[in-house]
Every structure is written in C-alpha cells, then in structure tokens.
Amino acid sequence: GSQNEWGWSKSKLGANAILAVSMALCRAGAAAKEKTLYVYLAELSGQPSDKFVMPVPSFNVINGGSHAGNRLACQEFMIL
C-alpha cells in the first residue's frame, strides 16, 4: 500500500486481495495455535470461546419504496 496523512492506505491493493490475505492470516494464526478458526477469532476479539450462538438467517421477501418501482409504503419486508 501507499501512505497518506492517516498512515498506510490500502486503496491500490483491491478488496479481493485484502480479503484473501486477511483470511490466509486468520487461518494460519488458528493453525499455529492448533485451534478452530471460530475459537481463534473469538479469543482474538476478546469474546468468550466457551459458548457460541449461531447467526439467525434473514430473507428479504418483498421490496418496496421508490427504488423498487411499485407503490408499497415499506422499504422491505424480511423474515427472520
């Protein structure tokens, strides 16, 4: 990356390259500590690693608002 007035800038690297390197470093860190990736990330972020909660999936079923091209008053309707 290059430098700007706030420090290192990643603007010339690209999102896909940054994501690939970030994921590789996370997986390497977890492997070096002989932990699963989710336990390693929980400990790295200071979260408890003894109890995990699965994320709740959400589905967008109806779109509305001015961008949708219809007269629905709501922006979107989601099912959790």
pLDDT at 24: 97
Confidence of residue 71 (pLDDT cuts 50, 70, 90): confident
pLDDT at 32: 97
Q: Tokens in use for 63?
A: 């779109």
* 30 vs 38: CA distance, rounded Å: 9
**DSSP code, position 54:** P
**What's the gap between Cα 44 and its chain centre?**
15
* pLDDT tens track for 37-68: 999 999 999 988 888 888 888 887 777 766 66
* 40 vs 79: CA distance, rounded Å: 31
